[in-house]
């Protein structure tokens, strides 16, 4: 349990904060590097716990692999070890991980010849996997639960006999993450063709490729939220305005919070120009990882709103919709959630009554709560959860005057 206190730094210098490397980009390259070790040269990787967990899993000689709370690692490792002939692997994680569905991916892999057994509840980890050479060909999978199922299939497609023609049988969520997977595969020299609801992945790397890295746009949402709530200008280092990450949409959406971004010497300078008077209305179906920071920032600005496209937030590290509802109500706001949408109304003054804010074992919830400290000292129950994606988050926030005690 830690208290967050904000004291604006003296002097007129604009703080410079740096985002971590993208775990999403790194995790995709790690799978390709494990499949094609002679073709992919490993470069600097994200320090995020999720990336470390996946890297250690892929390099492990153990038959029992603990993936903790790393959802991406669970989905990607399930596909990888299914396509690794002769490997017998037991994949498990936290109690919450064993509540996160994986049946659509398992069913698709089984249709390609994979042997996977549920070691607990049907449709959920833990899993026992007997690796085989998958035959490839056509595969069908729903796309409305998690884009990671699609990405996992795409990444192991080059390890199959004939590549994969992936048929999506429902509306796709988080399409930009699939686009990111496409970009990584193409950078590695693998062919990806997308036509309506079909994705054809085939071929293998033709040469040696150095694994590129990018700063994490999802993490930058916390910095945009800080400027939106505090009014403090900051410079964000490490981002690319030509990123393959879909969450670079933040460049446009910062304006929804009254924040103007400008590129200066390769860095992103953020200034709050105003607090918008109108309610916030956004569809985050393709960008769910931005939801918590954007919603909490708008509420802290004294605005109401309606955000749709939150369908996948129920099965993340926590039920993120429920977490947002509880925090907003704790601060005196009123909310309504209807499955994939969240409505909230503003309150004249936020109710900081000394209660401890829960982070719900969720890194993005902890980062979304941080800007509240610009308005009033707050206490959070677990500051360590940020290690999942941004281990140095609190160190960076010290630069703006936010301290943990």
pLDDT by residue (tens digit) across 105-144?
Answer: 999 999 999 999 999 999 999 999 999 999 999 999 999 9
CA dihedral (60, 82, 288, 194) positive or negative: positive
| Distance, CA of 401 to CA of 353 (rounded, Å) | 22
What is the pLDDT confidence band of residue 355, given thresholds at 50, 70 and 90? confident
- Across the range 329-334, mean pLDDT stands at 94
At residue 266, does pLDDT exceed 90? yes
Say what the pLDDT of residue 1 is: 87
- Across the range 78-82, mean pLDDT stands at 98
CA nearest to 322, candidates 293, 345, 302, 292? 292
Q: Judge whether 161 and 192 are in contact, CB under 8 Å.
A: no
pTM of the predicted protein model: 0.93
| Distance, CA of 108 to CA of 138 (rounded, Å) | 10
| Distance, CA of 351 to CA of 331 (rounded, Å) | 5
> What is the CA 403 to chain-centroid distance, rounded?
25
187-204 pLDDT, tens digit each = 999 999 999 899 999 999
CA nearest to 29, candidates 204, 188, 159, 240? 188
289 is catalytic: yes
What is the pLDDT confidence band of residue 338, given thresholds at 50, 70 and 90? confident
Spell out the domains of the chain, with CATH numbers in brackets: 2-21+215-404 (3.65.10.10), 23-210 (3.65.10.10)
Selecting among 50, 247, 289, 362, the annotated active-site residue is: 289
């Amino acid at each position: 349990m830690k208290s967050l206190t904000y004291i604006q730094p003296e002097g007129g210098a604009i703080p410079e904060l740096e985002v971590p490397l993208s775990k999403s980009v790194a995790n995709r390259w790690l799978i390709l590097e494990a499949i094609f070790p002679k073709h992919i040269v490993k470069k600097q990787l994200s320090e995020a716990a999720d990336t470390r967990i996946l890297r250690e899993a892929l390099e492990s000689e153990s038959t029992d692999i603990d993936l903790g709370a790393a959802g991406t690692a669970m989905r990607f490792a399930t596909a990888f070890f299914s396509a690794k002939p002769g490997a017998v692997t037991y994949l498990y994680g936290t109690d919450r991980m064993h509540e996160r569905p994986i049946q659509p991916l398992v069913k698709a892999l089984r249709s390609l010849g994979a042997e996977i057994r549920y070691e607990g509840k049907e449709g959920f980890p833990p899993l026992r996997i007997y690796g085989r050479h998958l035959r490839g060909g056509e595969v069908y999978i729903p796309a409305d639960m998690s884009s990671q199922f699609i990405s996992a299939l795409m990444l192991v497609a080059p390890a199959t006999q004939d590549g994969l023609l992936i048929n999506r049988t429902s509306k796709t969520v988080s399409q930009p993450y699939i686009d990111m997977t496409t970009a990584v595969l193409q950078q590695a020299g693998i062919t990806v063709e997308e036509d309506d609801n079909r994705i054809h992945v085939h071929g293998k790397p033709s040469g040696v490729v150095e694994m590129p890295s990018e700063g994490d746009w999802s993490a930058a949402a916390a910095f945009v939220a800080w400027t939106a709530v505090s009014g403090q200008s900051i410079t964000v280092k490490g981002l690319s305005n030509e990123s393959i990450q879909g969450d670079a949409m933040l460049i446009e959406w910062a304006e929804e919070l009254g924040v103007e971004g400008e590129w200066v010497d390769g860095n992103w300078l953020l200034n709050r120009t105003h607090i918008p008077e109108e309610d916030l209305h956004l569809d985050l179906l393709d960008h769910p990882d931005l939801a918590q920071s954007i919603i909490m920032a708008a509420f802290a600005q004294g605005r109401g709103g309606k955000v749709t496209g939150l369908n996948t937030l129920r099965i993340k590290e926590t039920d993120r919709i429920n977490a947002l509802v509880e925090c907003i109500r704790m601060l005196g706001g009123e909310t309504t959630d209807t499955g994939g949408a969240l409505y909230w109304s503003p309150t004249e003054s936020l109710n900081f009554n000394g209660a401890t804010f829960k982070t719900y074992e969720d890194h993005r919830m902890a980062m979304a709560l941080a800007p509240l400290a610009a308005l009033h000292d707050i206490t959070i129950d677990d500051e360590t959860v940020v290690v999942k994606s941004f281990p140095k988050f609190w160190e960076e926030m010290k630069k703006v005057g936010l301290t943990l005690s």
